[in-house]
Amino acid sequence: MPLRCAILDDYQNVALKFADWSSLKDRIDITVFDKPFASQDEAVRALQDFEIVCAMRERTPFPREVLTALPKLKLLLTSGMRNASFDLEAAKERGVTVCGTGGVGNATASLAIGLMLELTRKIGFENARMHDGELWQTTMGQDVEGMTLGVVGLGKLGTKVAAIAKALGMNVIAWSQNLTPEACAAAGVSYATKDELFATADIVTIHTILSKRTRGLITRDDLAQMKPTSYLVNTARGPIVDEAALLDTLQRRKIAGAGLDTFSQEPLPLDHLLRKLDNVVLTPHLGYVTENNYRRYYGDMVEDIAAWLSGAPVRVMT
């Protein structure tokens, strides 16, 4: 009898199109969930009879209490090789194999730059006005050339964003908890303390991973140091920033605006106050949502399942 496999949070209904699942058709029975679960309890009820679950990033969390409530679960997959919402220790204790996938390029870097350009040049705003038949030219753009970009987290993504920013003529400074001046020099950017970065940057962009150490990393005090003409861009994870403090800062117009792709609660509730602000550019966590990434994610998931069924799992997360 085939094992039951759940593909979760396939919002665009593309999981079965971006990979060839036919090699598994006699061994697994696939059910696609194209909407987010309303609660943890709903997720548990829906997944009770599944041995295999394919998760998309952290859209559906799997903490200890969820894993404990799913006795049939044997294989848990995630797109990418890191998932802050999975309790790997609990999975191991329950005998659940957890595997990841590869990814393609630095898709989030281009989105971060796009948010910066929308904030400073209002491209999408003016496009909407043109389509609505509104008056000609109402905004006055700002030149990013000559601005200072403050990069929080100079890893793979942060370095890519820094390189693009430099090509646009921006001055780039960087800080993170473990970053050194030597690492900055190797990336061709200037090192700054946290205080210096928030006080001097015209745009602050966040590229650290979410962990216990980085949750709430960007505090109310950090936001208070930003110039009233500056912008914050977050394409990393919502909880890295004190969201209540950011909302208050934006409402009081203490900074010029923000470009946000990630939020503390996702999907962002329809009545969330961030949706009401005219100094915020919002995108629905699109950083990794590209055709090439999805082909790699779902293609690797097919390989992960086949390898696990043969008794030799690959890309195992521990």
Would you give the DSSP letter of residue 268?
P
Is 266 a known active-site residue?
A: yes
Q: At what angle do helices 107-121 and 123-131 cross, to 10 degrees?
A: 70
Tokens of 85: 């919402």
Query: Which residue out of 196, 266, 272, 315 is catalytically annotated?
Result: 266
Q: How far is CA 38 from CA 35, 49, 119, in A?
A: 9, 19, 32
Look up 237 and say whether it is catalytic. Answer: yes
Contact assessment for residue 229 and residue 256, using Cβ atoms and an 8 Å cutoff: yes
- Which DSSP category does 269 fall into? P
Report which of 267, 227, 220, 226 is spatially closest to residue 246, judged by C-alpha positions: 220
Per the annotation, the verdict on 285 as an active-site residue is yes
**Catalytic one of 59, 237, 243, 296:** 237
Strand-pairing partners, residue 175, are: 152
Instruction: Measure Cα distances from 295 to 12, 15, 235, 292, 313 in Å.
Output: 13, 9, 21, 5, 20
Q: What is the DSSP string of 49-84?
A: T-SEEEE-TTSS-B-HHHHHT-TT--EEEESSS--T
Task: Tell me which of 57, 59, 207, 285 is the catalytic residue.
Answer: 285
Q: Residue 216, by phi and psi: left (phi above 0), alpha (psi -120 to 50) or beta?
A: left
Which of helix, strand or coil describes residue 182?
helix
Residues with catalytic annotation? 237, 266, 285
